[in-house]
Amino acid sequence: MSAKDDGFGVVTALVRASFLVNAVYAESAREYGLTPQQGQLLCVLMSQSYCMGELSGILGLAKSSLTGLVDRTERHGLVKRGPHPEEARAVRVELTERGSELVNEFYAETCRRVDKLPAGLGDAGRDQLAALLSRVVLDNEVPAVFMELDERG
């Protein structure tokens, strides 16, 4: 099928798909009392703790924006700061027990909702979509903000 048959070219399709996924993610986050940015932070921290500098790069945030995000999320009791075991001046951010419980629920629900988006494609179409999008993500070295269930460790 060509873009003319489908109605969209690759740029329009990617941008509109991004808006669709972001809307689902934001709605899920709101229902869990999170901002989308807090949801991203918690999802990143699911697999391990990170230094502030690492989080800044992964989330694509300036250090001042990240500090505000971590401050707000910490006030809600979802993350905590701690010393880095090897670097005296570095600060690590990790999930609290409450944050871990919340993100596990948020993550599962968000996965369920996003999984419904390509429901009309069938198994072969979903596999093809996953392969194509995986290639785009890997070619562009997108950080692991959201992982497959079996990647969570």
Domain 35-140 has CATH 2.60.320.10: no
* Residues 80 and 96: beta-carbon distance below 8 Å: yes
pLDDT tens-digit profile of 21-78? Answer: 999 999 999 999 999 999 999 999 998 999 998 999 999 899 999 999 999 999 999 9
Interatomic CA distance for residues 34 and 138, integer angstroms: 28
Interatomic CA distance for residues 89 and 53, integer angstroms: 11
86, pLDDT greater than 90 = no
Interatomic CA distance for residues 91 and 14, integer angstroms: 36
152, pLDDT greater than 70 = no
Q: How confident is the model at residue 85 (pLDDT cuts 50, 70, 90)?
A: confident
* Residues 97 and 76: beta-carbon distance below 8 Å: no
pTM (whole model) above 0.85: no
